[in-house]
Structure 1
Amino acid sequence: MNEYGTSSGAMPVEERLRAALAARAHAVGPADLRPLSPPAGRVRSRRTPVRRAVVGGMALAAVAALVFLTLAFFTTRDGHPAPTPPARSPHPSTGTPSPAPTPAVPSPVTPTPTPRAARPTTP
């Protein structure tokens, strides 16, 4: 017995398959092949999904540019930013006047130093 588990005179399975396939390949000639025919159905190109994605991305970019330019046009006047509207009270006005403001509390008065009277000189 050899390493393949067969008697020394027999060929291993892989060698027999290779020999059979080689014999069959040499037996086939151009007359045995059928003529080439075009595909029967419509063939989709691999480029079609890519083309659709590119066109969709370009359309999205055009819409974004249009929105940006429209906002830029309506928010500026003569190249200057639009003025900010005046602030409004968060509560609606009731129409009643507010009470008079309370007078400010005066600060304590600090005494100012007075000039001292000149002492009479005695002769």
Structure 2
Amino acid sequence: MNDSGRGTAGTRVEERLRAALAARAESVHPADLRPLAPPSRTVRSTGVLLRRAAVGVLALAAVAALVFFTVRGGPDRPAEPARPPRPSGPAVGTPSPVPSSATPSAARPSPSASRP
């Protein structure tokens, strides 16, 4: 009896299980079983509806990602300016960035004029 699951102990357990299963199978009659009915359509249609919705959302996400990465590259040439560029010459009324040379020399006294 101390075969640790091998030999005759394994076959005794198997024999008892088979005998119990056969006894249970003989005790069940056709009147004990419920009538055969097809599966309900609500369970199947809900699962199909959810699967189709998930596939639709994934397809929409794939299209959005494709559009995003396609547009993200940008145009091949630089964009045109929003307004025409200014003329290249100085405009009337625009102050000159360089001061005239007459103004600073008139303010400084000459060194020869200050000697007597």
TM over 0.5: no
Larger Rg: 1 or 2?
A: 1
TM-score (norm 2): 0.39
Greater relative contact order, per chain length (Cα 8 Å cut-off, separation 6+): 2
Q: Which has the higher helix share?
A: 2
